[in-house]
């Protein structure tokens, strides 16, 4: 492992590509190895023990691929497994929650912040913790939106069914007079336009991916791990645990690079 080694990024499926996309924009010389656990998506309704087990398997796989740092591009896995994984593995491991909470704390003007995410993320209250660490006066309104992940994995980002679900899940947050809404699941930025249409211009949407890519850059700089001999074009690699073709098609609609291949990888227990 050296400063020219790749960065490992993982999620339950295509959601983490919203974070990979931001890493590609902000630190374009870096190469990414992405793992989407498409055989076991969704993570949002699974237990902490299960998510720790899955995260451990994926991190081992990425470390075997020689990565120099890992981004958990999944709020659920960040909420349930980041601390444990950081204690277990001797490699920088960056999650998405703290960066998202910091961005929201800076954005809110009325100190009323909404968070949407999976059941796991919302019930963990991890965003409340980080938001109130920054500013104890912030009132946090959480709402689990379990069906959003499946709608995104099915490519239904622009669909009347999705619009109906957005209305059903988010109406109560709008009535709570929030001025900032955290997209607390990495799949949700893919619904950004539909959510924006529903909540209107007075609510600021926070996509934690921007701040996460910034945090990653800071960690790489601080550990002298920024790529020193960048390739002309980074050769990113994509691995999935199922449905490689479907993943590839969706990935090509999300990422700025050409995803030629998604490689099927069955992880060992
Ligand atoms: N994209 C992930 C998250 O940020 C996981 C969603 C899921 O698989 O339920 O939580």
Same topology for domains 7-95+210-264 and 97-208, yes or no?
yes
Query: Region 200-227: what's the mean pLDDT?
Result: 97
Residue 227 a catalytic site member: no
Indicate if ligand 1 lies below 6 Å from the C-beta of 43.
Answer: yes
Most ligand 1 atoms within 8 A of CB, residue of 18, 94, 97, 149 to mutate = 149
Write the pLDDT tens digit of every residue in 139-160.
999 999 999 999 999 999 999 9
Domain boundaries, the chain: 7-95+210-264, 97-208
112-117 sheet: strands from edge to edge? 139-144, 112-117, 180-183, 204-206
Write the pLDDT tens digit of every residue in 253-262.
999 999 999 9
Domain 97-208, second-level architecture:
3-Layer(aba) Sandwich (3.40)
Residue 42: cis peptide before it, omega within 30 degrees of 0: yes
Pairing of strands 69-72, 32-36: unpaired
Average pLDDT, the chain: 97
Q: Residue 205: in which H helix or E strand, if any?
A: strand 204-206
Query: Region 49-72: what's the mean pLDDT?
Result: 98
Write the pLDDT tens digit of every residue in 104-139.
999 999 999 999 999 999 999 999 999 999 999 999
Distance 112 CA to ligand 1 centre (A): 24
Distance 121 CA to ligand 1 centre (A): 9
Q: Which residue has the tokens 């809110």?
A: 108
CB 231 within 8 A of CB 4: no
Find the angle CA(193)-CA(126)-CA(47) to the nearest 5 degrees: 95
* Minimal-distance CA residue to ligand 1 atom 8: 42
| Burial (Cβ within 10 Å: 0-12, 13-18, ≥19) of residue 246 | middle
Indicate if ligand 1 lies below 6 Å from the C-beta of 15.
Answer: yes
pLDDT for 1: 80
Report d(CA 146, CA 169) in Å as an integer: 9
Q: Is pLDDT of 50 > 80?
A: yes
Report d(CA 190, CA 263) in Å as an integer: 23
Indicate if ligand 1 lies below 6 Å from the C-beta of 185.
Answer: yes
Residue 185 a catalytic site member: yes
Q: Is pLDDT of 269 > 80?
A: no
CATH number belonging to domain 7-95+210-264: 3.40.50.1860
Distance 187 CA to ligand 1 centre (A): 6
């Amino acid at each position: 492992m050296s400063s020219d080694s790749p960065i490992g990024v993982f999620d339950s499926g295509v959601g983490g590509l919203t974070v990979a996309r931001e890493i590609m924009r902000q630190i374009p010389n870096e190469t990414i190895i992405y793992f989407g656990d498409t055989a076991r998506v969704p993570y949002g309704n699974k237990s902490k023990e299960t998510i720790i087990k899955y995260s451990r398997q994926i991190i081992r796989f990425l470390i075997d691929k020689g990565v120099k740092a890992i981004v958990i591009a999944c709020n659920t896995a960040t909420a349930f497994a980041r601390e444990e994984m950081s204690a277990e593995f001797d490699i920088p491991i960056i999650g998405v929650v703290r960066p998202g909470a910091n961005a929201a704390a800076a954005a809110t003007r009325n100190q009323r912040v909404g968070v949407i995410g999976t059941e796991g993320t919302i019930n963990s209250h991890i965003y409340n913790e980080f938001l109130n660490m920054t500013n104890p006066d912030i009132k946090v309104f959480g709402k689990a939106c379990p069906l959003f992940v499946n709608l995104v994995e099915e490519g239904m980002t622009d669909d009347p069914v999705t619009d109906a679900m957005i209305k059903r899940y988010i109406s109560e947050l709008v009535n709570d007079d929030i001025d900032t809404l955290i997209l607390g699941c990495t799949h949700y930025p893919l619904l950004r336009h539909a959510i924006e249409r529903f909540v209107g211009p007075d609510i600021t949407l926070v996509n934690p991916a921007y701040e996460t890519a910034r945090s990653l850059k800071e960690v790489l700089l601080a550990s002298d791990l920024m790529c020193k001999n960048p390739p002309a074009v980074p050769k990113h690699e994509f691995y999935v645990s199922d449905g490689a073709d479907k993943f590839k098609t969706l990935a090509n609609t999300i990422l700025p690079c050409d995803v030629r291949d998604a490689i099927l990888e069955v992880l060992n227990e």
